[in-house]
Amino acid sequence: MNNSLRFAMAGTGYWARYQLSGWRELPGCECVALYNRTRGKAEALAREFGIDRVYDDYETMLDRESLDFVDIVTGVGQHAGMTLAAAARGLPVICQKPMAPDFATAADMVGDCTAYGTPLLINENWRWQPQIRALAAALLTAPIGRPWRAQINFANSFPVFENQPFLRDLGQFILTDIGTHIFDVMRYLFGEARTVCAHTHRVAPGISGEDAATALFGMRSGMTVAVNLSYASRVRGERFPEVFITVEGEDASLALEGDFKLHLVTRAGPTTTRHPPPVYPWADPRYLVVHASIVAAQRNLLASLRGEGTAETTGADNLETLRLVFACYESARTGQVVTLPAPAGS
């Protein structure tokens, strides 16, 4: 393909095949090499996707291949070193979430890429789910008046440890794994937070980190936003991995409920629209809305790298999401409300 951006993917675990499938839906890019420290895993994925070159040494891949960017889909502990190695070679980086295992490391990653003048983008896809985009549009156009309160619920009993057993061993689990997604959605919809009070719970046996959390945010707009996260809930009408969101305004409310339905409730009564995801043959039906949103997120990032648009989920922006994640851990540990600094440039 003429003017197609060449990239390498680092990491060939569970999510890599879905991100590769997402990239293949988009014209203007081509994966030319795969890295995994266990070479056999990279070779298996390369055969599946018809990719010719495989490496078990990341920096050797960067030095040998002619690349336009790197897509990092490894474990979170490898993100910082891999990002620095790519940035030092002038290569833009797309990095899986969570960006880093702690806020300081994430800030260093943003600083390193800034120093080298290379873009750092985060493959954060949840805000690109069509029903969430529809809710964002409705907040701008629907006659609800000033929004004053919202609730975001991701509560289910999906057996997440069955296909991702490594999650059992994470000392910090649901806030870093799902909280990064949900807090990014919150910021996308409602802006920045001023304060947070959080509680965490470890419910499932034999896990290292928390599998449930509740956080109450005071937003800079004056709104209050309550966020419930759980893999330990038994709820009626469970629809993993859908997120349910209710927004109360002075004049009306908006409610994103099951089956991708968005309800506008005014004094005259409710109006309902439905916003299902596109269906891709490679998507796992259990994760359909999540996998479909990978394509929309990557379309936005690719347009940015091609100079055809602005990326929504940059490293600098995602740093503010991680600030909320680690503020929740601090609040849960200390039992105190945590006051958040104003984001840079606000």
Q: Which residue in the block uniquely carries the two structure tokens 């409300």? A: 337
- pLDDT at site 237: 78
Q: Which of 84, 49, 225 is nearest to 151 (CA)?
A: 225
Q: Is 310 helix (H, G, I), strand (E, B) or coil?
A: coil
Q: What is the pLDDT of residues 305-338, one digit of tens each?
A: 999 999 999 999 999 999 999 999 999 999 999 9
Helix H or strand E encompassing 180: helix 179-190
Query: CA–CA separation, 178 vs 18, rounded Å?
Result: 18
For the chain, the C-alpha Rg in angstroms (whole number) is 20
Q: What is the pLDDT of residues 15-72, one digit of tens each?
A: 999 999 999 999 999 999 999 999 999 999 999 999 999 999 999 999 999 999 999 9
Structure confidence at residue 235 as a pLDDT band (50, 70, 90): confident
Q: What is the pLDDT of residues 147-182, one digit of tens each?
A: 999 999 999 999 989 878 989 999 999 999 999 999
φ, ψ of residue 102 in degrees (nearest 5): -155, 165
Work out whether strand 338-339 and strand 269-274 pair parallel, antiparallel, or are unpaired.
unpaired
Q: What is the pLDDT of residues 81-117, one digit of tens each?
A: 999 999 999 999 999 999 999 999 999 999 999 999 9
Say if CB 186 and CB 337 are below 8 A apart.
no
Q: Mean pLDDT across the stretch 214-227?
A: 98
Query: CA–CA separation, 148 vs 161, rounded Å?
Result: 37
CATH superfamily of 126-286+312-339: Dihydrodipicolinate Reductase; domain 2 (3.30.360.10)
- pLDDT at site 164: 85
Q: Which residue in the block uniquely carries the two structure tokens 């003429």? A: 2
With a CB cutoff of 8 Å and minimum separation 6, the contacts of 19 are 9, 71, 73, 96, 123, 294, 298
Helix H or strand E encompassing 258: none
- Per the structure block, which two tokens stand in for 69? 């960017």
Q: Could you state, in order of their start, the residue ranges of all structural domains in the chain?
A: 5-122, 126-286+312-339
Global pTM value: 0.96
Q: Is 273 helix (H, G, I), strand (E, B) or coil?
A: strand
CATH superfamily of 5-122: NAD(P)-binding Rossmann-like Domain (3.40.50.720)
